[in-house]
Chain A
Amino acid sequence: MVRTYQGLVYTVCYQLVQDSDTAQDLAQDTFLAAWRAIDRCPAGYEKQWLARIAANKAKDHLRSGWVRKMSTPGDEVMALAGAPPDQGPEAKALASIGMDQLEQKILQLREPYKTPCRLCLLEGYTPAEAAKICRRPEKTLNGQLWRAKKMLRQQIEQERRTEDGPVSR
């Protein structure tokens, strides 16, 4: 299996992480994970099954890098566990604008952020309910919500800075 599919698995990893050494490591991890779960491999779909494991490995790698880059301490825990609704700088930034303005901003978001934000922030669904509606894993949806809130906060802060104008010395 390794000899047959190593090119495919390495290609998936490389296209997602864009680094040869990391892709090689992730491809190796992919085959080890596949070996542990080989009894769950659907017959005739080995290619898709391996590519999915590889995509998962690459996703975990990219997500940890992204979280490290973007987070303040404790953020990543909130992102995975579901942040308490009224805590953190993002929640404060979102609470500082009116509901109409928030709705407008959420509807201007692109996918995959618009639908989870609409469901959770405007229509009051829980992340678990929204994950079912969107047919996404809850952990994925929580991560998308976390990033979307960061994007919205950045937008709001940038608009404030623009409204305040340059600081005179």
Chain B
Amino acid sequence: MDLFRDDGCLTDEGLQALLDGTLDELGRLEAAEHLSYCDRCMDRYTALLTGDVVKQPPRDLSRPVGRTILIRLMQNVYGRMAVAGVAAVLALAMWRTGSLQNVLGHNTPSLETYTPEQIAPASPELPPKSSYTEPPSPEEKTSVAQKAQEAVTELLEALADKADQGSETN
């Protein structure tokens, strides 16, 4: 029996042999390769997959597939929430230590500080130039810190809720 015609497509006998399960391993590999790119043969093949030919899997696939999809979605959501949480904690730590302002450039001595005019001795009457600004007051820091902590707590609670929902679904 020829599996392929001269034009490279599967013969009717070849398709029937595939349905009957009488092809050897190489024949099945060749058929799979061909069906993976040939639209005409795929149409012919799926047209034959009707009625008694179609077998149901021994175990229902909807549950394992649904579970895997849910796990991947949760991993995605948890990953994003974890990143957001870490970012919030980092921002809080930077704010409290005052390094956030350094990063933002408010407190960092800029290049202008070291221009020759400034490095040169200034007139004794003028006070030395400084780019230093007042840090936030302790009250300001506390209120921002509280807000950040509340946000992190909310995130953690949302994570816990999601985890509970996930375990209930499973």
Contact = CB atoms under 8 A, between A and B. Distances in A.
Asked whether A and B interact, the reply is: yes
Closest 3 pairs between A and B when the two form their complex, measured CB to CB: A59-B32, A111-B4, A10-B57
Interface in A53-90: 55-56, 58-59, 62-63, 65-66
B4 A32 contact: no
A18 interface: yes
A63 B37 CA distance: 15
B58 interface: yes
B8 A134 contact: yes
B28 interface: yes
Contacts of B65: 2, 28, 31-32, 35
A7 B37 contact: no
Contacts of B115: none
* Interface range, B side: 35 or more
A58 B56 CA distance: 17
A15 B21 contact: yes
Interface string A88-126: 000000000000000000000011100100000000000
Interface stretch (B46-54, B143-151, B155-163): B46-54
Q: Is the interface of B mostly helix, strand, loop or mixed?
A: helix
B64 A16 contact: no
A130 interface: no
A112 B4 contact: yes
Given A6-B61, A6-B62, A15-B21, A52 B36 contact: yes
Contacts, number: 121
B33 A10 contact: no
Size band of the A side of the interface? 35 or more
What secondary structure prevails in chain A residues at the interface with B? helix
A56 B3 CA distance: 19
Interface in B60-115: 60-62, 64-66, 68-69
B54 A11 contact: yes
Given A6-B60, A16-B18, A16-B31, 7 more contacts: A6-B57, A10-B55, A24-B59, A27-B57, A51-B49, A55-B35, A112-B34
B61 to A, nearest CB: 4
A59 B33 contact: yes
Contacts of B5: 111
A169 interface: no
Contact of A62 (B3, B4, B32): B32
16 contacts: A7-B54, A7-B56, A10-B56, A15-B28, A24-B58, A24-B61, A27-B61, A32-B69, A48-B42, A51-B35, A52-B42, A55-B35, A56-B36, A59-B36, A62-B29, A62-B32
